[in-house]
Amino acid sequence: MKAVLFLTVVLSGVLAVTAVPVEAVEPVQGTQELKEENQVVENEAGVLVPQAEEPEMLSAGEALSVEGRFFDCPAGWIRYKSSCYLYVSAGRSWTSAAANCNSLGATLASVHDLFDYSFLQQLTSRGGGTLAWMGGLYFQGWRWVDQSPFNYNFWSAQHTVSRYQCIHLNTRVGWSNNNCGNGWPSICVKNTDTC
Give pTM, 2 decimals.
0.64
| Mean pLDDT rounded to a whole number for the chain | 77
Burial-class residue 177 by CB neighbours within 10 Å (0-12, 13-18, 19+).
buried
Q: Which of 103, 98, 105 is nearest to 168 (CA)?
A: 98
Instruction: Specify the pLDDT at position 146.
Output: 95
Asked whether the beta carbons of 151 and 98 are under 8 A apart, the reply is no
How many H helices and E strands in the chain? 4, 11
Asked whether the beta carbons of 34 and 40 are under 8 A apart, the reply is yes
Is pLDDT above 70 for 25?
Answer: no
105-148 pLDDT tens trace: 999 999 999 999 999 999 999 999 999 999 999 999 999 999 99
Distances in Å between the alpha carbon of 11 and those of 2, 3, 14, 22?
14, 12, 5, 21
Domain boundaries, the chain: 73-194
Phi, psi values for residue 8, rounded to 5°: -65, -45
28-60 pLDDT tens trace: 455 454 445 445 555 554 444 445 444 344 444
CATH of domain 73-194: 3.10.100.10
Contacts of 105 (CB under 8 A, 6+ apart): 190, 194
85-112 pLDDT tens trace: 999 999 999 999 999 999 999 999 999 9
Q: Which of 167, 165, 162 is nearest to 184 (CA)?
A: 167
148-184 pLDDT tens trace: 999 999 999 999 999 999 999 999 999 999 999 999 9
